[in-house]
Structure 1
Amino acid sequence: MTLQPTIQPDPGQHPLEQLSAEEIVVSRKLLAAFGLVSDHTRFAYLGIVEPPKNELYGDSDGVVPNRVVRAMLWNPGAAASLDVQLSLTEQKLVSQRELDPAVDGQLPVMVEEFDLIETVLQADPQWVAALASRGLKPDQVRVAPLSAGVFEYPDESGKRLLRGLGFRQDHAQDHAWAHPIDGLVAFVDIENRCVNHLLDDGPVPVPEINGNFTDPAVCGELRTDLKPIEISQPEGSSFTMEGNLLSWLGWDLRIGFDAREGLVLHQLHFNHDGRRRPVIHRASISEMVVPYGDPAPYRNWQNYFDSGEYLVGRAANSLELGCDCLGEITYLSPVVADDFGNPRAIPNGICIHEEDAGILWKHTDDWAGSSEVRRNRRLVVSFFTTVGNYDYGFYWYLYLDGVVEFEAKATGIVFTAALPEKDYPFATEVAPGLGAPVHQHLFNARLDMFIDGPKNRVEELDLVRLPKSPGNPHGNAFTRQSTILARESTAIRDADGSKGRVWQISNPDSLNYLGRPVGYTLYPENNPTLAMADDSSIAARAAFAQHHLWVTRHAAEERYAAGDFVNQHPGGAGLPAYAAQDRDIDGQDIVVWHSFGLTHFPRPEDWPIMPVDTTGFTLKPHGFFDANPTLNIPPSASGHCASPEAGPSGGKECCGH
């Protein structure tokens, strides 16, 4: 079935432009016309399907690529889940598949289910009785809608489930995380709107802590000795935006946004010495998981895939000038589809700005009589998202010298439980009687590398210590060992700080003036990988987090580290399945997947709200340039290099002129 076009392809629209509100409206209308949307249908996901690389890099004879969207549709009445691709350009269905929940898993958790779990439990006699035994009524209790995972509990296979833990809320503005109701958990069948199973081990004292961190009784009087910091750029910022094309001091890239992944950086190029050179085709955080390490029966199933199950992009915050971002700010307002398939803009959801980044390079040379220093700066592209109790910032940094960094910022409120005993080994007492279970925040970056073109390779570089020998009489020598990761099966690797292990991504067909392949080096943080047992349910479902590095042959459909449908998937999807094909990756079109994150043993200082903790990685050019590419950065104005007390000439020497 083909319909008359309701949206015309725009020859001026780049195929990697973000999905517009109009396109979302048209998508819903077309899906309804094809009989796939009724009054009961819910949209678990709607996003753009990016065109293949050959259509983006000049091999398609000027044909404008189709605008294709992917929709994940749920009909709760029929317990049916559909995965659909739809061409907006040609007004036709590209593909359609119904999921088998027992095999494929469930579609992501939807926003309306956050409230639905409370509605179901407030009407359930078992839940009401369990609360009554604790002296509570349902209207005093908030229920966290927690993804169910896959475990050995009976009568769960094929059902769409959420697990609910209760927290007492004393008034409308009360932060209920201070009052966990322990010894009780409900397993809720969302499709049938009933309790599938209730686990109640009897009343446990509810902590009576004030968790309202803006209450003067908690935070005290606000400080008055904080002097203002003003950041100004009187001539404006150094970047430009044309549509979603961002250009800044040698860099150019396209800014994408996806309801599941959040920020996506497309087609990163660096311009130097008259050459516009590709570095990365596509960069995103493909998945993140938060597994908990408390074996108590009310929490031993806790593990949340905030991207695949809860859609971090859909939950993005609207950012505020002076609070979330400082300086000369450009905001973008991405549009996502709500549960009903209607467009919902996220005002100021993406923040773009530049900021000072300290010293770029400096040298004082007595022989030459010179003293030179240059300041670094970086371009920041970021968004923040809230998933339940935690808030996450996703920050991509580009630097003047070609460095690319990613940083995740974790803050918010630690998940809480009543502390069963003072020295309980699986939680920290953050306040009297209030525990915060140990857990991890593990991310996976999908880096579709394109260094000077599509043919790339990865080498593992290790420091090698050398023993004393006739050629090393003082034992001071050390060198570096390089190992090419030639196939997917051998490219599942772990960081090793004792060897200074890094991974160099290079193009064997593009040589620098020294005759060596141009490249970039990935520097990991060397933090722990997934801490759970190898034969655990979470290890099967979050296998990507068991290793720091995976390298696969590029395939457009292989987009997520834990697979397409994470919610209640039994495991084995994503990177284990991709790598099992054992494809050749030496000098091929490759994707580098890097897992990294935080292992959080909470501190009392993390309560009642957690100061930001950070994790991330760095990509540095390695032979990509023939020399330091920032020699043309001018000195800073001398007036900014000294305090006013230094006098009119006090700053001249600081900047080397």
Structure 2
Amino acid sequence: MRGSETLRGETGPSLSILPLSAERPGASLSRTARLSDTIAARARPTAQVSFRPAARGFGGRCLTMDPVDQNQREGRGLSRRGFFERSSLVASAMTAMCALAHDARGAERDETTVDSDQTRHPFDPLTPHEITEAVRVIRAVKSVGPACRFITVALAEPSRAEMRAYRPGEPFPRAAAVLVMDPGSGQSHEGIVDLRSGTVRSWDAVPQGLQPSVTVDEFAECEAAVKRSPEFLAALRKRGIDDPSLVMVDAWSAGTYGDEKPEEIGKRLVRALAFVRAEPGDNGYARPLDGVIAVLDLHTMKVLRVDDHGVVPFPPDAGNWAGAYLPAPRKDLKPLLITQPDGPSFTVVGREVLWQKWRFRVGFTPREGLVLHDVRYRDGDRDRSILHRASVSEMVVPYGDPAEKYFRKNAFDIGEYGIGAMANPLVLGCDCLGTVRYFDAHVSDSRGRPVTLKNAVCLHEEDAGVLWKHTDWRNGQSEVRRARRLSVSFFAAVGNYDYGFFWHFSQDGSIQFEVKLTGIMNTSALSPGEVPGYGVEIAPRLNAPFHQHIFAVRLDPGVDGPANAVYEVNMVSPRRGPDNPHGNAFRAEATLLARETAARRRVNGATSRFWRVVNHGQKNRLGQPVGYRLVPGENAPPFVQPDAAVLKRAGFATNHLWVTAYDPKQRYAAGDYPNQHPTGAGLPVWTAADRPVVDTDLVLWYVFAHTHVPRPEDWPVMPVGSLGFWLKPDGFFDRNPALDVPASLI
């Protein structure tokens, strides 16, 4: 491609396809003065979207984008709607290029269906029309002014009783849960809007001292406000930075640590950390503005103070990962084609998915992102229930550096920000391969206007290796079956980190949940000769601190019905004696977890611990209660001290398993409002009631952690790491349910 060409969509803006940047990989600046000069010299006038050839198995093109636009350059910030629209613009461009590469070979298709009134269901997320209607009703009935922020507008999920009364094809109740915040008074309200009658069912004030999550547009407004602050600009000049447009400002939730200044208590605070780009497309995380922290009130968008812990020179090297900066791609990678000429094996009706005896519904919320409803497996002539609902409930990322300027670094990425609202538009051939079905997600911006996140959720089949195999050496008889799995997933970009959340359904009745971690590590600068004590030097004078990613998944089981119980299973070896005369004996020992406090448990690799959810009222052919087992994967305890401030708000992380009596109001592991919560809430508080959890409607909470000890190979962008857990049938079926899988189809 020579010069600049343009692609025009029927309704969208033009995209400029540009030649590669002349920037050399590994370009660096060794002195602060040179950095400032280079910043001024390299500034570009406008944001641009460009394509370049990339090393992809399908031989296509992927996209690079200059992330700075004119609004940001002029200090206005980027609105939440603008953020979403730019994401959709990039996704549309990427989809076009990937589709061109794939459709030419017939390797991949985007399978889409159109929802209709006949396929609507009570668990379906709100439509754009319903979001608009909910906001209209709230504004009309409760006199909500234009300055108020709509933090979330989401489906008020139907109750168990409403679902029992539901009949397909008949009208059903429909309601929206709305969270509105008034920056003027600082007061927030939770409301339920009846969308059928256009009335407000409830309108409750959020208790004083609790803060809703930070919205996307508050991030952008915070950045603009910080860049206007005289104190912050003075800190920049002190370090030789004269162009604030090249400064990245990340708004970190302020948390609660017991040392808050009296005049700041009760305010909606963030602690803004900053990084400096060498030019608009540069990776600012390579050059932390170390030790400069702006404390800002989000209600007033005023900087209350700037803490300056002293000048630390910028690290000398660039850390660029975008395509225009990368070396020439490898030349020896041949195409790997994934084709399904007869179409996929799954069927999608509205938001219901049917595949290989599985049946479930795809939901989505601005806070949790992807939600699964009503997960069932077809066994003979019965659709057998396994899960009522499943979602990622909360996560926290504590950092381990105790320095004054760092110890407040931690993030509750779900409760403080909302990963659903930060979902990426996924791209055929880049994010998902094969014959793909996408689901859009509909959220609201903070003014209550609906915003559609195109292709937020991806559904596709994957080859998963060998499903089962055996060879009889005596007679030569051999059978083998290939495994196929169905994956439903979404990705969210939360600041520097990117998270992929995947539910994998297998033909043997098992479910795997997998989190994929990638993106860019949070960084700090090192003084010349400094050796980090609580991190790893990943590039010259660039430190990545030790940290953990701790996830809490909420599982609402319904194993052959709502009356379930949980057993903990440990392997034990009896002491030598009459029961173990040769010392070789070991057995599985199951313990019933009868009450909530007894069900606060941790993983134990030394005993191969797992947990089994059973239905005592339903038996298999052997007379055993049917069940599913939860099998842990990678895990660790939190490494902060028990009295650390972050653990007061993240009390859920103190155990790996919690079992609670079902309560529809208990949705989030750290409570509804972890942002600046003064004492902490959620699982430790709820389970203190010590309710019985045997043969009843219960909820299983599994908490798992990845401990990140950084390495140079994680820079400048991390190869994907993954962790998660399995749900496997344990006496649920009478035999291997995958015996009827056909031999491989070639």
Same fold flag (TM > 0.5): yes
Q: 1:568-607 residue pairs with structure 2 within 5 A?
A: 568-607=676-715
Shift of 1:339: 1.3
Q: How big is each residue's C-alpha offset from its partner over 1:257-296, in whole Å with a ceiling of 9 and x where there is no partner?
A: 1110000000000001111100000000011111111112
Q: Does 1:366 align with 2:461?
A: no
Query: Does the alignment pair 1:340 with 2:447?
Result: yes
User: 1:159-558 maps to which residues of 2 (within 5 A)?
Assistant: 159-214=267-322, 219-420=326-527, 422-558=530-666
Displacement of 1:37 in angstroms is 2.5
Given the alignment, which residue of 76, 80, 93 partners 2:183?
Answer: 76
Deviations 1:344-363 (A, max 9, x none): 11111110001111111100
User: Offset at 1:511?
Assistant: 0.6
Q: CA deviation at 1:132?
A: 1.5
Equivalent residue, structure 2, for 1:619: 727
| One-letter code aligned to 1:547 | N
1:68 and 1:589 map into 2 onto residues whose CA distance is 24
Measure the CA separation in 2 of the matches of 1:160 and 1:384: 28
1:298 maps to amino acid: K
1:24–1:342 CA contact under 8 A, matched in 2: yes
Out of 106-115 and 374-383, give the one that drifted further: 106-115
Distance 1:376 1:521, change over 3 A: same
Contact 1:379/1:397 (CA < 8 Å) preserved in 2?
A: yes
Structure 1 residue aligned with 2:247: 141
Report the Cα distance in structure 2 between the residues aligned to 1:366 and 1:206, rounded to whole angstroms.
Answer: 66
SS at match of 1:349: strand
SS at match of 1:290: strand
Letter aligned with residue 143 of structure 1:
V
Give the 3 Å change call, closer, same or farther, for CA 352–183 of structure 1 in structure 2: same
Partner of 1:150: 256
- Among 105, 110, 113, the residue aligned to 2:215: 110
Q: Summarize deviations over 1:138-177 as a string: whole Å, max 9, x none.
A: 3332211111111212132210011111111121111101
Give the Cα–Cα distance (whole angstroms) in 2 for the partners of residues 44 and 573 of structure 1.
20
Give the 3 Å change call, closer, same or farther, for CA 636–59 of structure 1 in structure 2: closer
> Could you tell me whether the CA contact under 8 Å between 1:422 and 1:429 is conserved in 2?
no
Relative to structure 1, is the Cα distance of residues 256 and 636 closer, same or farther in structure 2, using a 3 angstrom cutoff?
same
- Kindly provide the amino acid, as one letter, of the partner of residue 165 in structure 1: L
Tell me which amino acid in the other structure corresponds to 1:426: Y
Q: Aligned equivalents of 1:58 and 1:569: distance in 2?
A: 38
Q: Which amino acid aligns with 1:512?
A: N
Q: Is the Cα–Cα contact under 8 Å of residues 507 and 587 in structure 1 kept in the other structure?
A: yes
The alignment's TM-score, normalised by the length of structure 1, stands at 0.93
The one-letter amino acid of 1:148's match is A
- Name the SS for the 1:490 alignment partner: coil
Q: Please state if 1:566 is matched with 2:671.
A: no
Following TM superposition, by how much is the alpha carbon of 1:11 offset from its aligned partner in structure 2, in angstroms? 7.7
Give structure 1 stretches of 5+ with no counterpart. 1-8, 641-657
CA distance in 1, matches of 2:689, 2:589: 27
Structure 1 range deviating more: 527-536 or 343-352: 527-536
CA distance in 2, matches of 1:116, 1:243: 37
Following TM superposition, by how much is the alpha carbon of 1:527 offset from its aligned partner in structure 2, in angstroms?
1.5
Q: Which of 12-21 and 238-247 deviates more?
A: 12-21
The offset of 1:470, in angstroms, is 3.3
Note closer, same or farther for the CA distance 1:601–1:371 as it changes in structure 2 (3 Å cut).
same
Q: Matches of 1:16 and 1:225 in 2, distance apart?
A: 48
Gaps of 5+ in 2: 1-115
Cα distance change of structure 1 residues 201 and 61 upon mapping to structure 2, 3 Å threshold = closer
Measure, in 2, the Cα distance between the counterparts of 1:221 and 1:59: 58
The answer to whether 1:125 aligns with 2:234 is no
1:90 paired with 2:197, answer: yes
The whole-number CA distance in structure 2 between the counterparts of 1:503 and 1:62 is 39
1:647 alignment counterpart: none
8 Å CA contact 1:446, 1:593 repeated in 2: yes
Shift of 1:584: 0.6
Report the secondary structure of 2:423's partner residue: coil
Query: Normalising by structure 2, what TM-score?
Result: 0.82
Number of aligned residue pairs? 627
Between 324-333 and 146-155, report the one with greater CA deviation: 146-155
Residue 80 of structure 1: CA displacement?
A: 2.1
Q: Secondary structure at the residue paired with 1:129?
A: helix
- CA distance change for structure 1 residues 12 and 115 in 2, over 3 Å: closer, same or farther? closer
Structure 2 distance, partners of 1:100, 1:189, is 19
Q: How far is the alpha carbon of 1:599 from its aligned partner?
A: 0.7
Q: SS where residue 673 of structure 2 aligns?
A: coil
Deviation at 1:208, TM superposition (A): 2.3
Mapped contact 2:370–2:489 kept (Cα < 8 A) = yes
Deviation at 1:515, TM superposition (A): 0.5
1:69 shift after superposition: 1.1
The whole-number CA distance in structure 1 between the counterparts of 2:446 and 2:415 is 16
- Cα displacement (A) at 1:480: 1.2
Contact kept, 8 Å, 1:456 with 1:506, in 2: the verdict is yes
> Within 5 A, what are the aligned runs for 1:3-82?
13-58=120-165, 64-82=171-189
User: Residue 136 of structure 1: CA displacement?
Assistant: 1.5
Counterpart residue identity of residue 465, structure 2: G
Decide whether aligned partners of structure 1 residues 586 and 240 sit closer, same or farther in structure 2, where only a CA change above 3 A counts: same
The offset of 1:422, in angstroms, is 4.0
Aligned equivalents of 1:240 and 1:396: distance in 2? 17
What is the deviation of 1:62?
10
Tell me if the contact between 1:520 and 1:624 (Cα under 8 Å) persists in the aligned partners.
Answer: yes
CA deviations 1:441-491 (Å, max 9, x no partner) are: 111100000000000000000000123323432211101111100000111
Shift of 1:79: 2.0
Residue 100 of structure 1 deviates from its aligned partner by 3.3
| Cα distance in 1 for residues equivalent to 2:374 and 2:316 | 52
Contact 1:145 1:162 in 2 (8 A): yes
Q: Is the 8 A contact 2:634 2:706 kept in 1?
A: no
In 2, Cα distance between equivalents of 1:287 and 1:143: 24
Counterpart-to-counterpart distance in 1, 2:689 and 2:669: 15
Identity in percent:
44
Residue pair 1:231, 1:326 contacting (<8 A) in 2 also? yes
